[in-house]
Amino acid sequence: MILYHGTSKENAESIKRNGFSSEYAGKNWGSTYGKAIYFTDCYKTAKCCAGLSGEVLTVDIENVNYLKLDKDYSPNDKKHIREIKSIIMYVMINSNKNCLLNYNENEYIFFNRFKYTIIS
């Protein structure tokens, strides 16, 4: 599955050298929702997250085991933070899923370990 990750140029270079790190997960957009790594299947969305001086990484993720959200949630949705956090905690503790998926917002939120290849 090809997905995109928008980040700063410095972070992109670090990810290319060292891979994604759970140590830095959730430091920017996702800090409200815990340690997770966010991807999108929309290049324009990733570019927006990267900002004017940032970079978009193209990532091929293997064996995606996801849980589709029933509602239209977004990381910027402040009204449902508690509900989103409880869903994330459920996935992390009680499930073999490694990803939450929101089709409407093109968001993929990965937890724990997952196999990937950085294409660019």
Q: Which helix (H) or strand (E) holds 37?
A: strand 37-40
Average pLDDT over residues 21-26: 69
Number of domains in the chain: 1
pLDDT at 32 over 60: no
Q: Which residues contact 95 (CB under 8 A, 6 or more apart)?
A: 67
pLDDT of residue 49: 86
Residue 109, domain extent: 2-118
Considering the entire predicted model, what is its pTM?
A: 0.74
Banded model confidence at residue 80, pLDDT cuts 50, 70, 90: confident
Average pLDDT over residues 19-45: 73
CB neighbourhood size of 33 (10 A): 19
pLDDT of residue 77: 66
Q: Alpha-carbon torsion 41, 47, 50, 56, what sign?
A: positive
